[in-house]
Amino acid sequence: MVEKTGLDERLADLAADGRLGAAPLAAEQIRARGDRRRRRKRAARASGGVLLAAAVLVGGLSLVRPGPEPTAADPSPSTSAPLFVPPTPAPGEEYATELGHVYGAVALDGGRVRVTVQQLRDERGTAVPTGVVHELTLPAVTPVEVRELAGGNPGDMRLDEVVDRLRTGPRWVFALDYDGEGRVQSLREAHWLTVE
């Protein structure tokens, strides 16, 4: 009986070895898949860490790197001066209006005129400076409605016809009409405003 039990155990061991050699047990397959997954995760974390470190380094360098030096020919704008934003028409309106002193007119080649505009705001009929000053280059044929500029006679002129009177410093106040694309369509002398 002892021999029979020993023989049964040997046969069982041989059968188990044969099964292991033919196909691994389910637990071993699961362990192998888990190992592969862990290796892939480690590799992904390592490569992601390298990419993150590179991105941080490049970003830090772009913040630290000095910008171009300002030159006398191309000065950088003052950060304290308000920036000019062309007005946009309200819904249903054709034009938006900017009030401003128009001066420093210079006739340019190609039928253009460059003017300086010192922006104003209307406070109960009085023109008050906003601190915004900008330049515009307009077509010489831009329509200009005048009154005081033409000696008190209301009339329509073109910008190139009033360049000489607009050459000097801030004296004449105009309402500049901007279309939806930020282009000046006309200038109207704001004779109804009192200049502060």
CA gap 37, 113 in Å, rounded: 72
77 found inside a domain: no
b/e for 128-162, b at 16 or more Cβ within 10 A? eeeebbbebebeeebebbbeebbeeeeeebebbeb
Over residues 53-82, the mean pLDDT reads 58
Say what the pTM is. Answer: 0.56
53 plus 142 within the same structural domain: no
100 plus 187 within the same structural domain: yes
Please name which of 105, 98, 92 lies closest in space to residue 164, comparing C-alpha atoms: 105
In percent, how much of the chain has pLDDT > 90? 32
Give the pLDDT score at 32.
76
Q: What is the pLDDT of residues 10-43, one digit of tens each?
A: 877 777 766 655 555 566 777 777 777 777 777 7
120 plus 169 within the same structural domain: yes
Q: What is the pLDDT of residues 111-126, one digit of tens each?
A: 999 999 999 988 888 8
Task: Give the chain's mean pLDDT.
Answer: 80
111 plus 185 within the same structural domain: yes
55 plus 118 within the same structural domain: no
CA gap 140, 112 in Å, rounded: 5
Region of poorest pLDDT, from 54-58, 66-70, 72-76, 104-108? 72-76
Q: Is pLDDT of 1 > 70?
A: no
119 plus 31 within the same structural domain: no
102 plus 41 within the same structural domain: no
Over residues 122-144, the mean pLDDT reads 91
Residue whose structure tokens are 């601190």: 131
Q: What is the pLDDT of residues 145-181, one digit of tens each?
A: 998 888 888 889 999 999 999 998 888 899 999 998 8
178 found inside a domain: yes
53 found inside a domain: yes
Give the pLDDT score at 117.
94
Torsion angles phi and psi, residue 186, rounded to 5: -165, 165
- pLDDT category at 136 given cuts 50, 70, 90 is very high
191 plus 103 within the same structural domain: yes
72 found inside a domain: no
Query: Could you list the residue range(s) of the whole structural domain that residue 20 is in?
Result: 2-61
116 plus 189 within the same structural domain: yes
177 found inside a domain: yes
Q: Is pLDDT of 73 > 50?
A: no
182 plus 110 within the same structural domain: yes
114 plus 49 within the same structural domain: no
20 found inside a domain: yes
Q: 79 vs 95, which has greater pLDDT?
A: 95
Q: Burial-class residue 95 by CB neighbours within 10 Å (0-12, 13-18, 19+).
A: middle
Region of poorest pLDDT, from 47-56, 125-134, 183-192? 47-56
Are the C-beta atoms of residues 125 and 77 closer than 8 Å to each other?
A: no
